[in-house]
Structure 1
Amino acid sequence: METKYFTISVYSENNVGLLNRISGIFLKRHINIESLNVSKSEIKDVSKFTIVVFTTEDWTRKIVQQIEKQVEVIKAYYHEDDEIIFQDTALFKIASHLLFDERQIQNIIKASHAQIVTVSRDFFVLAKTGRRHEIEDMYHQLEPYGIMQFVRSGRIAVSKEAMPIRELLAEIEEKQHL
């Protein structure tokens, strides 16, 4: 079976300890989490985990089934890259003098569609949003000039197809009132 990237979306109640139990599911199977993002979702009081893994579809399906067994989890889905719209964000901290002394830095910023977030006497900070390979390309272009600090977010993603999470929650609520 082919190994590739999968994005797992998990809708859940926001309870202490859930992240630890979910990460344990990956640990037991010796599958590395490539990126992880947790935020509130489009539904009040429901959190969304976005987890990226590099494995087979069979392993991904098994992981999603295990995640759904957690009491607080409402629903989990997995997607291939062509089924979602996704982005990463990165921040680059660079010595300020390079912005003026190295013309190529300005060309890199312009070509990569990065934004200057802040400039101080000692450093400036660039923000780059895009696909992981775009951020890595920018990193490799800036690396010879010296990167003081670098950080990249976990993937954020929305599915191209509707995920019927609202309908599922409505059904659950309706059953509770019966």
Structure 2
Amino acid sequence: MENKTFTISVYSENNVGLLNRISGIFLKRHINILSLNVSESEIETVSRFIIVVDTTEKWVQNIVGQLEKQIDVIKAFYHVDEETIFLENALFKIESSLLFDERKIQNIIKESNSEIVTVSRNFFVISKSGKRSDIEDLYNKLKPFGIMQFVRSGRISISKDKMEISALLEELKHK
């Protein structure tokens, strides 16, 4: 079996220590987490972990099974990229004088569909949402001008198909 990029969605109660237990599952199997995002989900009081890994389908099935054995985990799913809609966000902090003195920076911002979110006397901040490759491309174009700070979020993702998590939670409520 060949390695692929998988996005794992874990719905859980929001309890202390779960992130540590989840990362331990990957650590034991020597599988690197490429991206991790934790946020509220569409269901009140339920958190959603989005974990991106590069592994085989056999390993991701095993991991999802292990994740679901965790006491706080309600349900876990996995998807390949073609089954999801996903993106990342990034912020770039650049020296302000370049915005006014270097026309090429303005063209890069416009061509990359980025936006300037703040401008101060000393710096300005560019925001970019998109696929990782789009963000890396913008990074490479801005790098020669000097990037003061850079940060990229983990992947956020929703599945193209309906996920039955709401129905599952409603069912569990009535048991």
- TM interval, shorter chain, is over 0.9
Aligned: 1:22 with 2:39: no
Instruction: Kindly provide the amino acid, as one letter, of the partner of residue 148 in structure 2.
Output: M
Aligned: 1:86 with 2:86: yes
Using the alignment, how far apart are the partners of 2:92 and 2:76 within structure 1? 33
Using the alignment, how far apart are the partners of 1:162 and 1:13 within structure 2? 21
Kindly tell me the number of residue pairs found equivalent between the two proteins: 175
Q: CA RMSD in A?
A: 0.5
Report the CA distance between 1:102 and its aligned residue.
1.1
Residues 100-127 of structure 1, C-alpha deviations (whole Å, 9 max, x = no match): 1111101110011001010001100000
User: What pairs with 1:29-178 in structure 2 (closer than 5 Å)?
Assistant: 29-175=29-175
Q: Secondary structure at the match of 2:104?
A: helix
Using the alignment, how far apart are the partners of 2:142 and 2:3 within structure 1? 31
Using the alignment, how far apart are the partners of 1:3 and 1:142 within structure 2? 32
TM-score scaled to structure 1, two decimals?
0.97
Using the alignment, how far apart are the partners of 1:38 and 1:152 within structure 2? 14
Using the alignment, how far apart are the partners of 1:84 and 1:55 within structure 2? 17
Runs of 4+ in 1 over 3 A off after TM superposition: none
TM-score scaled to structure 2, two decimals?
0.99
Percent identity (aligned): 69
